[in-house]
Structure 1
Amino acid sequence: MTENKAAAQTLLLVESLKVLKNSRSQHETEETIQSLLKLDFEVPFCTSDVGEDLLRICVLRCEQCPSMATAPLKELIWLFQTSTENQINLSPTSIDLLVKFCLKRVLSGPIPQIIVSFHALGSLVYQNSHLLDSNWPALHEVLRRSLCDNEDVDSIRHSALKILQSLTIRRDKETGYLSASQVDAIVAMIIEGVIKKTNYADETLFCKIRVATMKTLLNLVNSDAVFQAEHMGYILGYLRHLTFYGFPGYASRPIKSFDLFPSPVCHQLPHIDMNELDGNRDKPVMRRSHGKKQNNRAQKSESTTQLDAQDDSDSSPSRKRYLPWTAADSSDADTSDPENAQDALTLNKRLRNMKAKVRQIAYDTIRMLLLTINKKERFGYLLNFLPQQSSPALRSTEHTLVLSMLKDPDARVRSSSINVLKDFIANSKQYIILACESTHATSFTSISEVMASVITELHRAIHLALLAETLPLFQIPLLSCLSLLTNASPYNRLRASIVMDMIGDLRKILTSKFEQVRVAALTCLGGFAAYQPRHTEIIRCLGLDSDHWLEVYCSSQLLGPEIEANSVRVEILQTLTAFVSNHFNYCIEVFGEIYVPVLESVLVDPFGPIRIHGMKLVTALANKIADSSSTENELVMKLGKSMWQETLFQRGLIQKCIFPPAEGESDRTPHEVRECQVLRRETFTALAEIGSVMWDNLPHSNQKFCICALLTHAKATTDDVALAAIRTLGIFCTYDGTAFDTILLQDVGEMCVHLLGKRINLSLKQKVSWTLSNVCFALWTLCKAESVRFLEEISPEFFNNLLRLSIVAYDDKDAVRVNALRAMGLLLGMVTESYMHKEIQLYKEAVRLLMETMALSSDKFFKAKWNACYAIGWILRNPTTRVLVNIDASLETLEHYLLECINLKVQIACISALDQLTEAHDLPVSVHTQAFSILLRKTSRVSEIQVSYKELKHLQSVKENLSLAVLNYLSKSDQEVFRCLPTLMTEYGECLEILLKDSLSNLDVKRTLEDFMKTPRATSSSQINKFIIEISEHMPEYSIFEAPE
């Protein structure tokens, strides 16, 4: 039947086309168009080419007959453009012809004909908005007259807005879009023709006009259009008014002006980087995220899709995937009045729904508009939507976002307001932290006081909303808001009583049947557990000092007979990790009952993310055990042995995490393979936290397994796994016992040689060079402690390969060069003639590079400079390499950097280099005299150093290192080569005394000074005696030491 109908209509179409081509009569043309309007456009009967030819011929015939009515042809255009079975792909020439035809006399004639003209024009614009540049002036004029000059007919205004809505759709990145001037013109039309017109006879049509207006603005925002500042403030003020349009019990207030300005208190905000628009940091945060962040445009798209699918059908960029203009114009069909629904109750209900829809889209539009401006300005605008006073009298009367969140009867509006609040908290952390109540009256309201009131009100409101809402649609974003607010706010602004009640309510929410609600509740509890500094009421409410209820709950969900959802189990492990990281002293009490069984279970779980987060828990435990074991805590040592030896190694958990079972390896998906790689990386990270004490207590077989696994995977093709393995090996090389394991040091060194000889990425190369410098430091330790063994077990070939590798790495990026300089300095400081005599040119090249680095005048390479300064000290101390440098020139360079360099770490390195010379007794007296004179001159300049607060610790380090160096020289004044040094102290005694007073907080300085005062001397100069007497007089704590006669 349908096929017969389609064939008949196709035949009629062909005949009509012939008639139109040969027609010379207006009457015949009109009859033909009328016959075409009677066709069933739901049946496919027309190809794209035939349809295009038909419309072109019809337009030409109408233009030849000026008196001919245009409405039927416009209706025919509309029918073809909106038909899903007979869509026409128009050429640019045809589009231009049809648009110009539709724009002619569009505002003349009866209203029904005007509406038909707008429908035809809208269907063309909707399908071809990116091809209308040549028609923009005429189109703009028609739309401006419809919106701004039209005083009475709101249906025409609504139709014009629907065309604007279609015009602002961005098809794709490749096609062109509206220019900045066109965007400004559209926004100006909206302000003049919609926002400033406040009198509407029909509230239903009023709601439709508002919705179309806001969807047009959303289209502009999603297309990255830029709004002028004056337009932005006016639109936000208007949208703020709409957020309470139709709010029950709140009559609309007369508005003289919608102008909205950023809150004046935002001028008090500290300067942060405001030059760039918001990027990845502006993504709305739902929970703790460990994945990669999406870009800002993706966020906008995701946020916009939260509108109903029916509402968004008219803002789609592709007619092949979305409904045509008919659907675009029927987005309000659910709120239109059918013929048989005229009773007042039904009409009132629909009107309430339409008003709620206006409020919802108003919040969605506010949210998206604010993402287009910088953080500081956005923060100032958002303060206008939040309560800035804690007065109970204002809570129920002030039109704020919080009032919508708590009392709006429509669920969609409450959800949208919560999303706006969540974005505010997530993107204003650097301002929320400023909250502080004033203890005295001030002449103005400070930003800290405003934020204190805002935080208090938000905390109270979120708590009330959580008590009222039971659906996950609201509970999840509310819990996200609570987590963000807890992490960002000063604790004293959160009100301890509400925090305690909140934790109790969260405990109840953990029994929710919705897994995402449980996840969000655990995130909040983990946030409370991670709060620093720790607070007694939080510890008490979380049961850390009593029944450990939360840890018991976590353990039961992980180990219980009922299988919990994977997302909840992952969040449980993150919460336990937060407990360990911040409350380890309390976790010790249930370590064996909870944490050990949990590790035994999760590390063999079939779900990959569970094993990964279980290993992160191991990392947190290992870190805390290593820190506590350094203080010789016997209980912690016992727990560490239980975890590492009895649980992780004896049960084979570490082994399985590094080398998964081979069964089914060929059947693993790429995702499963990647999970194994990430688990291996986290295992190596956990091993890096084991600490020297726990490492030394491991059985030799376990140590050997770890070293072999690390060396194997350090050469892996997966960069993050290789980087974790190399980093762990580098940390192992810093352990005290490792310095005497020459086999390990040579294996790690050869691994570094192998990797740096390959093409690897920069981050991996940087970590390899860091590990190389640690190997060299371990060799330095071995050389100082057991020089004979060092010469026997470290071959010249290996030693020279390390130096050659360091020279090669020096030519790389700065991050690699810094480590290469450290390695070169250490190797040159311990080299002997037996290593150097065959490769003398190699060592000369290394010294040349060090001296070049010292001579760099740029301030960019401070880290390279201070490593070079350390290296010069080691070279001058070593008689073997001393002959390769100019001693006088080296001392002059050290003096220059010590007295003139603005970087304090470079000064510390220079002091250390000069201090190294005290061990070189074979240097001439003139060298020691010059070095000591440089140090004394520095003591007179220390008081002139001006630093910021962040550099105070470095300034203190300069004073302490300088004090130790001077005392080290003076303590050797009875030796022949140093005997003339005290005579240089005549004019620096007072400066040196002040320096020592400032440095006595350091135990090393205090101990060195005590030893210096107590030690008897065979010969003592008058300057030394005078110095000791002055110290005894001005530092009473040292008066018990008798000055020598």
Structure 2
Amino acid sequence: MDFTTDERERYARALDKIMRAAQGSVGFVRDIINATLDDLISIDYTRAHFIKAENLNPVLCRTSGLIPLEDDLLVTKFSQWLASVTNCKNVKFSVVAIDTLCRFLLEAYYQSPEWAQPEILRALGAVLYENGPSCPQILDELVSSSQGRVGLLFRLLKSENSEVKRTSMQCIGNLCMRSESGSVIEEVHLQHSYQQVLTVLHEGQQQTDDDVTYLRLLLASLKSLQNILGASKSIHTGDLGKVLAALKSVMLVGLPGIGFCPPIQPSLLPSPFFLQERSPSSKAMSEREVSDVKSTPSSGASKKKKKPKRARQQEQSKGEDDESQTAALGGSLGLDESDVFNQSWPITGKITSSESEYSDTEGGQTSKLRSLSGKVRHASLGCLHSVFKNTEKRVLFGYWSFFVPDAPVGTSGPPPQTLFTSILKENNAKCRAGSVMVLSTLLEGSKQFLVAAEDREYNRASFTPFSQTLASMIKEIHRCLQLSLAAETYGSNITQIIKCMSILVGNVPYQQLSSGLLTKVVRSMRPFYQHKDNRVRTACLTCLGAVVSASAPLNEVHQLLAEHSLPKGCGSGTLFARLATDKEDRELQDQTEELAPTLRGSQEGPSDSREEKSVEGDQMSWLIRWCSDIITGGEDDHGDPQSISEVLPVRLEALQVLTQIIKHYFDLVQPFLTQLTVIIQVCLKSDDDDQVRLHGLKVLEELGKSMLANLTADKETGTRLTVQQVVTVWDGVLGGPLPSVLQDTAHLVLQASACDCLGTIGPQTMDLLPVHHRILIMTVLLGLVNEEDYRLQMASIRALGVIVQYPCLREDVTFVADTANAILGCMQHSSVNVRMRAAWSLGNLCDALHSNIQNDDSHFLQAFSELLLQRLLEAAISGSSDHDKVKSNSVRALGLLGRILESQTLKKNVFQSLIKKAMETLLRNINTGAMKVRWNSCYALGNFFRNPHLPADGEAWQGEIFSSLTKLLTSCKNFKVRINAALSLSLIEARSGYGSQIHHIWMSLLRALELIDDVEEVSELKYRDTLRQQLCHTLIHIFGLLTPEDSHQIFKDTVHLGKEWIFITNVQLYVKTLQKQSEDNVRSTDPDRLPDTAQAMEKLKRASDNAKRLLQEHSQPKEKTIMSDLSAAMQGLSVT
């Protein structure tokens, strides 16, 4: 039992007296109330578990009714009891109780002497805590600032009594807090409160206040500001410079050389060099963000698990210990923003221990100042973190120069006061962690701005370009973070600094800076690679992963990773010199020996095998070897994965680092594919945690992608990857644990990830895999498509869409038919994500059918079910009217199906009807919808043109199609749509295919060339040359088909409109481009979609020959001159 029976009975008797007493100001009744309040105040409510918080509402309201307003002593004692019990118990006040208690306290305040006012305000603050939205009827009375009426709390901020001023500030903070339900007080009251808090912060220390009094007021103001910032994410945007000016000064209060009352600038003005222009997309995004802020409550309140009110109030009452206590607790400091900044934000009315536990001696006063200044710095950093987190990055970048140095100390006058002043000079571990967290928030999302940084040699010393200033700032951030890492002793703070370095590395354009920065980052972490705190080791691996991914590939990182031993630490200055002592050299040597791979010497087997693996280990990158040892525990091929001793977070991070190395620096892992296969097998066999298996599958997937890319790449240097090496890897995995994962129905996410892996095997490898492996892959994937889980269906149908294109499988009619049926089933799925993947696979399936026909496999379509073709066509038409993400691939499939249908099939009524629907669908999609859908629809129409069996004289559909395509050529803003529209018009092989529309098409193409420089979106500029080339290619193609009758009419109108030189000059550019491509032996990346140079040259020759024939048919001098010039231009000759 926590309390004796006597104490329980004493509490019960006190309540009984309260409930039976009548109001009285003199005599016996007053004495009873006075004694009862004394008993209630004496109880320690933090341990009084027998008191139920829900029963306190009627007791408190009843007691307030017994206290005469004119009895100052009883009012004060009641206020003390109210504040005490509310702070210690999680009291949820009802609306009636809030109104009753607030009315009583306000009326009592107006009648009370000055000595009683602080206690009444503390009690009022306790009642208002998180209850501001529940008392709208008194908000005007408390925090109004309009129509000449100033609220009580605002008036009290002008009081000469420091305690009244401080407690009124606490009341403002509690009133502005977001309630447990997420609601806040009205924006107008919130804004007035915010302005009042800012005013107090900028006032500075009054002459009548000592340092302790000022710091206590400062602390209350900062906590109130934090509550206001938590209630409204956009309230600070109107005067951002003013709040940043205050916080920048206050975050350094009490540091050496700063003092307890540093000057505060009126406002910070953003640097014009750092201001970024808002792009249309960012503007739209910003408007959406502001809308979200105004219309929805804070996401943080709803996403994070909220602490009980009592627990948060108890944290407030505890406060922050002095530095000796902080040092003792340093190892348990939090690692994320919720832990770093969760100290003391709830503002209660209770007098905290930090306010009274120090003596009045000189030592006690010094301790109080040190503790209070530490709290102030920590609170200001918390506010700064909130401001940075909720400010648009573009706007915040303008203030970087105030918080980050741009030159080393001593190079440009006195050292600037920045965040690194706090990080490097702060003796409070929690404040250092807070400063690093604020810096991390500042760096997050800065990649789009730091990209302007560049290192160059400049001769003009009087002018430093912005790019150089930014580069210098980046270097200084690196240097200061490395200094702070070398000086830090607390494990949690080391983790924070390394995480901050990870964020920095992920945002800096290292390819534009001088080399060496990343090397120093890696070497600065070297003493912590074997740190006893697993969180530090995890952070090191996270940072190494960021280094590997930074602006990859980089020569500096490649050289760094290519080292076979751990890089030695380097640096300058006393902090780095301290790391070079003999003792630490011995420690680092021991760490290097610990990192030596046990795979080299601990494996059992013949000595030759051990010697061979030892040599391989010596050649392996130090980081790959370290990750391998972390993941496998240094085991041999037959080791037991259950014996791995490293903790799970470190193993997962090592797997992610290994994945990044494979992705960006595959040549470093290529010699060790066997070891990678072992690592993957160890992970997939791990039964202790599914996360290890999942990350192992991610390694396998990335390895498959990299091997596939390197098989098809033309390597000029280095060892070429052979197909047999890839087959060996997949044979080992498929003959090992991967089939078990694919068939593990208890872990659907793992099954889906395994399906993604199968999609990276590649056609060459699949062809050489044993037959039983191929059968396993096909059988498993076809079976998983029928599972109910949509994620599994998405992964399996996509994998089928990949492998159905492999030559060794696409010729199998049965497998292709089974895949088609699986796709048709998924096209009817309720999930748009499944339908999207199914549509993509449908496009690939139709591509496989077309490839079989191109390879003269005429028997394939004959063996393929005509009914299945009909269903595929129906599914493609249906998908073309679905979601945009489904449409883009459905129209692609529709075009391919239209291209491969044979004449006997097209004669049937059902297919004629479907072709008509397909045409209507494609016409609708090229005119409206997403741009990707439109350009794919254009190309699909081009595939229809390629089928000679489709009706070529159907003027009914030709006219509408050509009208739509030519309209796109001249009016569509998207150049990729224009390119595909022009491409489609070049795919009609016979003159009859253009019908009577050829004149209109020709003039539209010339008009498109004329308008090619009218670019509305800057993003389209990169496609302009391609569009010009495609337009010329289409014109050349049509010119080669012109008859004398066509040419007379076309050139008559061309001359009349004065557009002959548009065609001639662009043809000259086109011919020069073709000649250069022919000399460079450039081939199209997509020969089926874009014209190959050889094909283009052939069409150019045909057009040139046709020009010579047409020249003889023209009698008009002007037309003959144009035709002659065209002929010369097509032959690459100069035109006069």
- TM above 0.5, one fold? yes
Q: How many residues align?
A: 983
Name the SS of the counterpart of 2:157 in structure 1.
helix
Query: Cα–Cα, structure 1 residues 841 and 309, in superposed 2: closer, same or farther, change >3 Å?
Result: same
| Structure 2: distance between partners of 1:262 and 1:270 | 15
How far apart are the structure 1 equivalents of 2:159 and 2:222? 20
1:81 Cα deviation after fit: 5.5
* Aligned mates of 1:469, 1:777 — CA distance in 2: 60
CA shift, 1:793, in A, is: 0.3
1:532 aligns with 2:551: yes
**Aligned position for 1:945:** 1012
Counterpart in the other structure of 2:1094: 1007
| Alpha-carbon distance in structure 2 between the residues aligned to 1:910 and 1:86 | 72
Query: In the aligned structure 2, how far is the partner of 1:549 from the partner of 1:3?
Result: 68
Q: What corresponds to 2:560 in structure 1?
A: 541
Aligned-residue Cα RMSD (Å) equals 4.3
**Closer/same/farther in 2, CA of residues 910 and 181 from structure 1, 3 Å limit:** closer
Match of 1:1042 in 2: none
Tell me the distance in 2 between the aligned counterparts of 1:308 and 1:464. 35
Q: Give, in angstroms, the shift of residue 789 of structure 1.
A: 0.2
Deviation at 1:18, TM superposition (A): 5.1
Amino acid at match of 2:682: S
Aligned to 1:829: 899
Report the counterpart of residue 195 of structure 2 in structure 1: 188
- Of the candidates 798, 810, 826, which is equivalent to residue 868 of structure 2? 798
Tell whether the 8 Å contact from 1:821 to 1:850 is kept in structure 2 after alignment: no
Asked if 1 retains the 8 angstrom alpha-carbon contact of 2:727 and 2:768, the reply is: no
Of the candidates 686, 689, 697, which is equivalent to residue 605 of structure 1? 686
Deviation at 1:400, TM superposition (A): 0.9
Tell me how far 1:1036 sits from its aligned partner: 9.5
For 1:156 and 1:1019, locate their aligned partners in 2 and report how far apart those are by CA, in whole Å.
Answer: 98
The structure 2 residue matched to 1:261, chosen from 265, 269, 283, is: 269
- Residue 286 of structure 1 is matched in structure 2 by none
Q: Provide the residue aligned with 1:788 in structure 2.
A: 858
Q: 1 CA distance for matches of 2:93 and 2:1103? A: 105
1:278/1:371 contact within 8 Å kept: no
How far 1:764 moved relative to its partner? 1.1
Compute the TM-score of the two structures, normalised by the length of structure 2. 0.77
Structure 1: gaps of 5 or more residues: 282-293, 316-321, 666-672, 1040-1045
Q: Classify 1:783/1:303 alpha carbon distance in 2 versus 1 (closer, same or farther; 3 Å).
A: farther
Instruction: Return the match for 2:700 from 618, 641, 644.
Output: 618
- CA contact under 8 A between 2:166 and 2:217: conserved in structure 1? yes
Is the Cα contact below 8 Å between 1:263 and 1:381 reproduced in 2? Answer: yes
* Higher deviation after alignment, 257-266 or 577-586: 257-266
1 CA distance for matches of 2:802 and 2:929? 28
Contact 1:577 1:617 survives alignment (8 Å) = yes
1:76 match = 78
**Structure 2 CA distance, aligned partners of 1:235 and 1:969?**
67
Cα separation, partners in 2 of 1:501 and 1:149, compared to 1, 3 Å = closer
- Are residues 1:336 and 2:356 paired? yes
1:211 alignment counterpart: 219
- The 1:551/1:426 distance shift into structure 2, 3 A limit, reads same
Q: Distance in 1 between matches of 2:82 and 2:389?
A: 39
Is structure 2 residue 220 aligned with structure 1 residue 149?
Answer: no
Match of 2:668 in 1: 586
CA-to-aligned-CA distance 1:276-329 (integer Å, 9 cap, x gap) = 569999xxxxxxxxxxxx955568989999x998554699xxxxxx99999934
Q: Give the aligned residue type for 2:916.
A: V
More deviation in 781-790 or 233-242? 781-790
Are 2:708 and 2:761, in contact at CA under 8 Å, matched by a contact in 1?
A: yes
Written as runs of structure 1 = structure 2, the 5 A alignment for 1:91-102 is 92-93=95-96, 95-102=98-105
1:817 aligns with 2:887: yes
- 1:503 touches 1:542 (CA, 8 Å); kept in 2? no
Structure 2 stretches lacking a partner, 5+ long: 144-149, 291-297, 320-341, 565-618, 636-643, 1052-1059, 1084-1091, 1113-1119
Aligned residue type for 1:265: F
| Offset of residue 582 of structure 1 | 1.2
1:777 aligns with 2:847: yes
Alignment of 1:488-527 (within 5 A): 488-491=507-510, 495-527=514-546
Q: Distance in 2 between matches of 1:790 and 1:736?
A: 13
Identify the match of residue 686 of structure 1 among 754, 757, 760: 757
Match of 2:591 in 1: none
Bigger Cα displacement from structure 2, 746-755 vs 905-914: 905-914
**1:178 matched to 2:185:** yes
8 Å contact kept, 1:99–1:124: yes
Query: Which segment drifts farther, 729-738 or 977-986?
Result: 977-986
Change in CA separation of 1:57 and 1:861 when aligned onto 2, cut-off 3 Å: closer
In structure 2, do the counterparts of structure 1 residues 394 and 36 end up closer, same or farther at CA, with 3 Å as the change threshold? farther
Contact kept in structure 2, 1:235 and 1:258, CA below 8 Å: no
Deviation (angstroms), 1:192: 4.0
CA distance in 1, matches of 2:308, 2:395: 22
**Range 342-351 or range 793-802, more displaced:** 342-351
Deviation at 1:850, TM superposition (A): 1.7
SS in 1 for 2:795: helix
Deviations 1:683-738 (A, max 9, x none): 22122222222222222322221111111112222222211111121122333444
User: Residue 1035 and residue 589 in structure 1: after superposition, are their counterparts in 2 closer, same or farther (change >3 A)?
Assistant: farther
8 Å contact kept, 1:221–1:369: yes
Aligned-partner SS, 2:553 = coil
Q: Verify: 1:596 aligned to 2:669, yes or no.
A: no
Q: Is the 1:605–1:611 contact (alpha carbons within 8 Å) kept by the matching residues of 2?
A: yes
Of 398, 406, 427, the residue aligned with 1:380 is 398
Structure 1 residues 799 and 530: CA distance shift in structure 2, 3 A: same
Shift of 1:576: 1.4
Match in the other structure for 2:709 = 627
Task: Please show how residues 268-667 of structure 1 align to structure 2 within 5 Å.
Answer: 268-271=276-279, 273-274=282-283, 295-297=299-301, 311-312=315-316, 328-330=348-350, 332-334=352-354, 336-338=356-358, 341-390=359-408, 392-393=410-411, 397-436=415-454, 439=458, 447-491=466-510, 495-543=514-562, 548-559=621-632, 560=634, 563-592=645-674, 594-606=675-687, 607-631=689-713, 635-638=720-723, 640-649=725-734, 651-660=735-744
Cα deviation code 1:962-998 (max 9, x no counterpart): 5555666777x7xxx9798888997666653432223
Structure 2 residue identity aligned to 1:83: V
Encode CA deviations 1:141-194: one digit per residue, 9 max, x unaligned: 67446643312x2122222223233323333226x5321222233233334455
Range that drifts further, 629-638 or 401-410: 629-638
Paired amino acid for 2:740: K
For 2:39, the equivalent position in structure 1 comes to: 39
**Contact kept? 1:526, 1:578, Cα under 8 Å:** yes
How far apart are residue 123 of structure 1 and its match? Answer: 3.7
Q: C-alpha distance in 2, partners of 1:198/1:824?
A: 76
Q: Which moved more, 1:705-714 or 1:192-201?
A: 192-201
1:780 is displaced (CA, Å) by: 2.2
Match of 1:227 among 235, 252, 258: 235
Where 1:244 maps in the other structure, the secondary structure is: coil
Distance in 1, Cα, partners of 2:1107 & 2:374: 94
Aligned position for 2:1070? 995
Q: Secondary structure at the match of 1:702?
A: helix
- 8 Å Cα contact 1:462/1:478 also seen in 2: yes
Cα distance in 2 for partners of 1:572, 1:809 equals 42
- Following superposition, the deviation at residue 511 of structure 1 comes to 1.6
Q: Partners in 1 of 2:522 and 2:658 — Cα distance?
A: 16
Q: Which residue matches 1:1043?
A: none
Give the Cα–Cα distance (whole angstroms) in 1 for the partners of residues 175 and 912 of structure 2.
Answer: 72
Partner Cα separation in structure 2 for residue 222 and residue 873 of structure 1: 57
Q: Deviations over 1:48-69 (max 9, x none)?
A: 587357425424xx36xxxx42
Report which stretch shifted further, 236-245 or 432-441. 432-441
**8 A contact 2:895–2:940 mirrored in 1:** yes
